[in-house]
Structure 1
Amino acid sequence: MSPSRILFLTFILCCFYTKISAQAISVNSNATPADLIQNVLINSSCIDTESVSGSGNPTPNQQSYGSFTAGANFPFSSGIVLSTSPSTKAVGPYIQEQSKGTEVPGWNGDTDLNQALGINNSTQATVLEFDFIALTNSVSFNYIFASNEYQLNFPCIYSDGFAFLIKEAGSSENYKNLAVLPNTTTAVSATTVHPKIETVKDEYGVSLIGCEAVNENYFNGYNSDSSPINYAGQTVVMNASTDVIPNKKYHLKMVVADDATRQYNSAVFIEAGSFVTKINFGEDRTVANNNPICFGESYVLDTNLSSTAYTFKWFKKDASNNYIEITGATSSSYAVQTSGMYKVEANLSGTTCISIGEITIEFTPQIQSTNTSLLQCDDDADGFTIFDLTKVANIVKNNNSQIVNQGYYETLADAQAKTNPILNPQRYTNKTPNQIVFARIENTFGCSAIPQITLNVSSTVIPDQNPIAKCDEDEIQDGLYQFDLATEVTPQVLTGLPPGLVINYFLTALDAVTETNQLPNIFKNTTPNSQTIYARAANGSDCYDITPIELIVHTFNPPNFEDETQYLCKGSEITLSVATGFNSYAWSNNLGTTNSIQVNTPGDYSVTVTDANGCPKTKNFKVILSEPATITGADVKDFSGIDNSVKILYTGVGNYEFSLDGIVFQDDPTFTQISPGVYNAIARDKNGCGPSNVFQIYVLDYPRFFTPNGDGFNDLWVIKNIDQMPDYTISIFDRYGKLLKQMNQNGSGWNGIFNGREMPSDDYWFTLLFVNGKNVKGHFSLKR
């Protein structure tokens, strides 16, 4: 490689190293505690210090406190560092592989830190402490906590500890820790400030359980190999502050220590020159802080400094964001009247000590309120009644949903002091005529206004009302029926009253006064026949008057008004009628207005009658047409022994019953198990419209045996009544199919003889063939 090329690469590497080095802080570990406190930390003529001391790493030339300077990549350009390892190890960048700490024999913890944090096992503590006297009422300084415990899941489990401990010098009282989260007593540490920690596995594959974020807004982030300090993570810039009594001596102890594991180091970086005195007016009184000053109030800013020892200048920022001195404001306090940013400069006479206090003040807008009145009805006319004060809740606050009602009070003093509120404002009884009570309304910041409510008793009167009567028109005549109050009652009540009134109804006068248990518009009386309800007329929140109204329900349940069915024989007419004595009659289809009508057509009829109260009742008639039946034939199943049957065939619209002998009738036209014989079938109408024609029916069957022995009984095999049937032919065969006898309507039967010879006892077969094609086959026995 050429010499020029080697020189060029050397130049590039030097530049790269210089750039990396420029990003890291530098630490001077040789500074004394006095130098660190009096020359680095404090730069104010308003603070006197003494008795400065420090302690830390006992290893020679490896002091654990020192001063530092930093470049642009660190929030503080310079300051003090206190560490649980040699302070020079705070120099960045962060290298994870080297982040594990080491145990230093003889380097112990701090008992004051243990007590302040509630622990008992701190180790390797580094301390800077001193006495100071402030000439004003507040001191503060800025710091950052950094730790190598911001890796893996360590913040879920443990943290090194640190504290800024203060108390009055020489006092035996407990220290107060200033290294806490704003507006809390929670000490800042890796376990109290960290993002969400995910569950991960360590180098051995063991799961390290994570945890949710805690106060993540105070965590600045994780560091890397380009960070200016050698710690895994750090907080944002924090501020430690406390009120003090001017000219009183205090002792401040700044301490950081390792936990019992001594595994991972931590440090506290304190900004140079940030330890200053301030005049503390408290936090800004702003809307953002939820504590602005109420409209109309005067807010006094008090330095609490002596007017003889100090001179004062007060300032307010103008529209250009410049502080302008307030003319004539030279006292130790100033009464703020308007919103703005205010500052005071307090100069200790005869010194260069100037203490500054700043605060932003915002005033809330004026709460708009309205005095109003309530007009309530008096159910007993004694001048005292029950008011619902909450009915004007929106009126007194001008319908502003952002304003909250905070109670009602009998006196202005109670409303202003927010004491002795009316316990039940929905049911408040006035104490005097035209009494005034007070409503307290507040905005979201607790600022209040006190509008007045005048309680008036209504003197207007609604005239007495006529009863509202109607008929009980449901199926059960129990005197209970529903009223449509809006259409059946309200028009009567409003007659002659001023327009704009709203009518509501209640069961009792007290309910009407207090507007409780309002009745629904469709109301069914709960007391049979007669019930009094109360109508309340109101105009908005004001009551006009309350009046009783009687609701009457008339019942009407005449006897014998059940639905009825009657039968009309074809070609005749019948009379439909109900009792006499009703006020009116109205038959359907305008058929009449008397108690009876004549009808000759089947169909549905009804009559509606009314009583003296005009209540209706309707009776329904169903007229059904009927007539005698006409028997047109019969389906006969015969030659079947016990299975012989007859089904009568008929026409007609009536309701019929049937008989084969005119004596025994049945509803079914089919008869079963019919014996052979001649039958005279008939049907008759159950509705009284008469019998049908008579229809003769023959049921035939053949004998199952005969005994041709000459005794005159059953000597012939013959089918009874077959001569009434159409032409037929009967052929008789023996078991071998030989034709033995053939007969027709002129035959008298078979006597068991073939060719002059008596046939033996045996089974014989026959075929019966009618001319209409019907064919019956069977067999019978010849017995000798």
Structure 2
Amino acid sequence: MSCFRVLGLIFTLCFFCNKIKAQNIVVDPTKTPVELVKNVLINSSCIDTETVNATGNPTATGQSYAAFSSAGSTFPFANGVVLTTSPSKNAEGPFNQATSVGVKIESWAGDVDLNKAINTTSSTQATVLEFDFTALTNSLSFNYIFASNEYQSYYPCLYSDGFAFLIKESGSTEEYKNLAVLPNSTTAVSATTVHPKIESVIVSGSVKDGCDASNENYFNGYNTATSPINYAGQTVVMNAHTAVVPGKKYHLKLVIADDDTRKYNSAVFIEGGSFVTNINFGENKTVANNSALCFGENYLLDTKLDPAIYTFKWFKKDSSNNYVQIAGATGSSYSVTATGTYKVEANLSSTTCINIGEITIEYMPEIASSDTTFLQCDDNSDGITIFDLTKATNIVKNNVSQISLQGFYESLANAQSKTNPIANPQHYTNKTPNQIVFARIENSINCYKTAQITLQISNHVIPNQAPIATCDEDVLQDGLYQFDLNLQVTPQIMSGLPSGLVIEYYLTASDAVQTVNKLPNIFKNNIPYLQTIYARAVNGSDCYDIVPIELVVNTFDPANFEDEKVFLCKGDQETLEVASGFKSYLWSNGSTSNSILVTAGGDYSVTVTNGDDCQKTKKFNVISSEPAVITGAQVKDFSGIDNSILVEYTGNGDYEFSLNNSDFQNSALFSSVVPGVYRAVARDKNGCGLSNSFLIYVLDYPRFFTPNGDNYNDLWAIKNIDQMPDYTISIFDRYGKLIKQMNQNSAGWNGFFNGQQVPAGDYWFTLLFIDGKSTRGHFSLKR
């Protein structure tokens, strides 16, 4: 094989592989409008078409309506009809952004009907495919995809080409109805109504604002250089559908047009063979659709076709998911009474046209309800009282949480029609004895059932109750105290009654009937000394009986029961006592009389009980005391005004102190003590006597003396120092010369040294006791 042949083979294979990798749709613009409608779009013996017309590109650049096939590409439709705002061959992929600005043909006009349908006045370059057809069933539908080069930049925020599928009765002057709308709306499908979020962009130096997403769930995505069609983006597969009248002729106009810019062309792809007219029974009646049927309901499937020209077969799927013909069901309608998937085949006489309708129907389970009798208590025996009907809610719906109560009614007719519900069922006053009211209960899809509630008056009787007494144990004896109703009252009421009753308490009989303002278990009366409350005995939701209960609060506040302090001197005894005449006494030491004799300090108490069995406790704090024993004193002397005495003592008591047995103070420390001789004593404040007397000397030296012979202050001496241990006093002049030395036998210094008067001035001294204690100071000699 030659080298050129090998290279050629390789090139061919590469080209072939590349074609397989990037397959695109193939557009055939040679089909006539009749071929497009009868052979591509419809292709069914069940649809009669006539008067087929098409208009589009007026130039020789290429027809704008055509047939297409997927040619093995990923495009969702295998084949179909494409209508474009440019030559139809331009729809073949892949997407080429460089040429996406599109084809502008100034002579190509828009469409008036489209303008009106999408509320514009400026459509251009319109392509139209229209025809008449006669409906043989009650609905039609077809699938389509809208694609556009306007799915670029910020364009979907402002611009969109328009298209519409317009239908009306043929030959009529009525307005067209647009079928190319978003599901369950009248919003036309376009690039401005179906797109993701668009970000702002800068174009030629100016900001072009973006916009939020709009119905993004219907946007299939942006296309690329590998896409099978030559458009920047496209919607998901959409469905156009409408109800029609069998046997009536309609005109259908499929139209697409560019906007007034004539840029960025668009196309609508309609799936081949998807134009069908079927028998439409509406949406499936299922739990998932929230439209299942109610238990026992008959549901009529009506084809609305003339049985004179159609024959009918009805089917239902079996457990193997196969359709089985329903015997005897040959009419134009069929009444469904059970869950299942149903199908009808309607054969137009003398034709091969068979129209089919299918629907799945589910039934909700039967709502379980229970009639009941509601017993209420009557506070005046007239057979008329107040009922809380809501207490019967769980009973009538058998405690099924998925079932909801939808009101109480005075008549069955009102309950069934859901009109005139009882306005305040929590406080309903019956009109007659043994009256019957009706409850309406519903499931999640509003299926309903009614239940009867018979309103009766309880004939049970609780015996009259003895008063319930307690004692006011607060410090303030005001006749207000708390009751534990479950502990103090309920056992008395329940005595002799059937087990299982629940006792509730209320302030008034009216509250008890209406079960409002229920009292807490721990209840403090708000009327002093005596208050009546009401006990309601309940059996499930029924009232058993209501009985008054007297609550009595007894007070007990004897005189002289304040806490008391008693002082007990060492070796003595004291009597602790309270008044006589109480029912009982109990002392903390076990005694049961009104007094006890104590010989030791400590805490004592007595609890007395009166005739109402109320108690009061008095506390005694017995404090032991004894005379003090003074053991010494700490004396600070030779300090002038800072002289002090700190008395040292022992003893268990509360003491006061004196240095002269006359003036007493609480502190054992005496300050600013003048020199002298003192006898310290301590006195027990609690009357247990005086301590021993303790002798104390406070010394100090004179700060000057005047030895001038006038017999006043002629000697320098320390007063009372002769009462102290042996000592030596040495006096020096200012030069440190020893002038005089004295001991306990010296009378003092007269201002002489060696028989001569010393000069006036300051002199210094040292005082040294034999026990080692010493002091020093200075004084002045004045002449």
TM-aligned CA deviation for residue 760 of structure 1: 0.9
TM-aligned CA deviation for residue 501 of structure 1: 0.9
**Structure 1 Cα separation of the partners of residues 368 and 71 of structure 2:** 55
Gap change, CA 1:644 and 1:118, over 3 Å in 2? farther
Gap change, CA 1:630 and 1:341, over 3 Å in 2? same
Gap change, CA 1:559 and 1:159, over 3 Å in 2? farther
Gap change, CA 1:172 and 1:667, over 3 Å in 2? farther
Partner of 2:319: 319
TM-aligned CA deviation for residue 466 of structure 1: 0.6
Paired AA for residue 528 in structure 1:
P
TM-aligned CA deviation for residue 194 of structure 1: 4.0
**Structure 2 Cα separation of the partners of residues 328 and 532 of structure 1:** 77
Paired AA for residue 728 in structure 2:
T
Matches within 5 A, 1:332-411: 332-411=332-411
Partner of 2:100: 99
Partner of 1:643: 642
TM-aligned CA deviation for residue 131 of structure 1: 3.1
TM-aligned CA deviation for residue 35 of structure 1: 3.2
- Residue 654 of structure 1 aligns to a residue whose secondary structure is coil
1:152 and 1:208 in contact (8 A); partners too: no
1:43 and 1:276 in contact (8 A); partners too: no
**Structure 2 Cα separation of the partners of residues 379 and 262 of structure 1:** 87
Matches within 5 A, 1:84-233: 84-152=85-153, 154-155=155-156, 158-195=159-196, 197=197, 199=199, 214-233=214-233
2:26 and 2:71 in contact (8 A); partners too: no
Gap change, CA 1:9 and 1:201, over 3 Å in 2? farther
Gap change, CA 1:210 and 1:394, over 3 Å in 2? farther
Q: Does 1:463 align with 2:433?
A: no
TM-aligned CA deviation for residue 112 of structure 1: 3.2
- Residue 589 of structure 1 aligns to a residue whose secondary structure is coil
Partner of 1:749: 748
Partner of 1:32: 32
Gap change, CA 1:662 and 1:281, over 3 Å in 2? same
Partner of 2:17: 16
Gap change, CA 1:19 and 1:700, over 3 Å in 2? same
Partner of 1:546: 546
Cα deviation 1:143-186 (Å, max 9, x = unaligned): 11222334455545544332212223344443322112222333
Q: Does 1:623 align with 2:625?
A: no
**Structure 1 Cα separation of the partners of residues 111 and 564 of structure 2:** 109
TM-aligned CA deviation for residue 121 of structure 1: 4.3
- Residue 180 of structure 2 aligns to a residue whose secondary structure is coil
TM-aligned CA deviation for residue 322 of structure 1: 3.0
**Structure 1 Cα separation of the partners of residues 173 and 631 of structure 2:** 131
**Structure 2 Cα separation of the partners of residues 25 and 662 of structure 1:** 132
TM-aligned CA deviation for residue 70 of structure 1: 2.0
Partner of 1:720: 719
Gap change, CA 1:558 and 1:108, over 3 Å in 2? farther
Partner of 1:496: 496
Deviates more, 1:528-537 or 1:240-249: 240-249
Gaps of 5+ in 2: none
1:199 and 1:207 in contact (8 A); partners too: no
Gap change, CA 1:560 and 1:120, over 3 Å in 2? farther
Cα deviation 1:697-752 (Å, max 9, x = unaligned): 11111111111111110000011111111111001111111111100000000000
- Residue 511 of structure 1 aligns to a residue whose secondary structure is helix
**Structure 1 Cα separation of the partners of residues 681 and 15 of structure 2:** 137
**Structure 1 Cα separation of the partners of residues 158 and 439 of structure 2:** 54
- Residue 650 of structure 1 aligns to a residue whose secondary structure is strand
Cα deviation 1:497-542 (Å, max 9, x = unaligned): 0111111111111221222221111111121111111111111111
Cα deviation 1:586-644 (Å, max 9, x = unaligned): 11121x22222211110001111122211111111111111111111111111111111
2:220 and 2:235 in contact (8 A); partners too: yes
Gap change, CA 1:164 and 1:628, over 3 Å in 2? same
Gap change, CA 1:106 and 1:475, over 3 Å in 2? farther
Partner of 1:71: 71
Paired AA for residue 381 in structure 1:
S
Partner of 1:734: 733
**Structure 2 Cα separation of the partners of residues 618 and 47 of structure 1:** 108
**Structure 1 Cα separation of the partners of residues 563 and 204 of structure 2:** 95
1:63 and 1:87 in contact (8 A); partners too: yes
TM-aligned CA deviation for residue 462 of structure 1: 0.6
- Residue 277 of structure 1 aligns to a residue whose secondary structure is coil
Cα deviation 1:260-316 (Å, max 9, x = unaligned): 554433211111222222222111111121101111011001122223333322222
**Structure 2 Cα separation of the partners of residues 558 and 574 of structure 1:** 23
**Structure 2 Cα separation of the partners of residues 718 and 460 of structure 1:** 112
Percent of aligned pairs with the same amino acid: 67
Partner of 1:693: 692
1:40 and 1:79 in contact (8 A); partners too: yes
Gap change, CA 1:409 and 1:720, over 3 Å in 2? same
**Structure 2 Cα separation of the partners of residues 121 and 748 of structure 1:** 144
Gap change, CA 1:637 and 1:108, over 3 Å in 2? farther
Paired AA for residue 762 in structure 1:
G
Paired AA for residue 86 in structure 2:
S
Gap change, CA 1:184 and 1:754, over 3 Å in 2? same
Paired AA for residue 740 in structure 1:
I
Partner of 1:483: 483
Gap change, CA 1:17 and 1:661, over 3 Å in 2? closer
- Residue 16 of structure 1 aligns to a residue whose secondary structure is helix
Cα deviation 1:56-87 (Å, max 9, x = unaligned): 33332322221112234332222111112221
TM-aligned CA deviation for residue 353 of structure 1: 3.9
Matches within 5 A, 1:232-243: 232-243=232-243
Gap change, CA 1:107 and 1:726, over 3 Å in 2? farther
**Structure 1 Cα separation of the partners of residues 220 and 742 of structure 2:** 130
- Residue 277 of structure 2 aligns to a residue whose secondary structure is strand
Gap change, CA 1:209 and 1:605, over 3 Å in 2? farther
Paired AA for residue 367 in structure 1:
I
**Structure 2 Cα separation of the partners of residues 444 and 495 of structure 1:** 47
Cα deviation 1:635-675 (Å, max 9, x = unaligned): 11111111111111111121111111222221111111111
TM-aligned CA deviation for residue 192 of structure 1: 3.6
TM-aligned CA deviation for residue 436 of structure 1: 2.1
- Residue 492 of structure 2 aligns to a residue whose secondary structure is helix
Partner of 2:275: 275
**Structure 2 Cα separation of the partners of residues 681 and 207 of structure 1:** 106
Deviates more, 1:181-190 or 1:500-509: 181-190
2:154 and 2:201 in contact (8 A); partners too: no
**Structure 1 Cα separation of the partners of residues 51 and 58 of structure 2:** 21
Gap change, CA 1:570 and 1:313, over 3 Å in 2? same
Cα deviation 1:387-437 (Å, max 9, x = unaligned): 222222222222211111111222222211111111222222222222222
**Structure 2 Cα separation of the partners of residues 237 and 350 of structure 1:** 36
**Structure 2 Cα separation of the partners of residues 775 and 204 of structure 1:** 111
TM-aligned CA deviation for residue 211 of structure 1: 6.1
TM-score of the superposition, structure 1-length normalised? 0.95
1:684 and 1:691 in contact (8 A); partners too: yes
Let me know the Cα RMSD of the aligned residues: 2.3
Partner of 1:80: 81
- Residue 126 of structure 1 aligns to a residue whose secondary structure is strand
Q: Does 1:632 align with 2:631?
A: yes
**Structure 1 Cα separation of the partners of residues 31 and 195 of structure 2:** 32
Paired AA for residue 734 in structure 2:
R
Q: Does 1:674 align with 2:662?
A: no
Paired AA for residue 743 in structure 2:
N
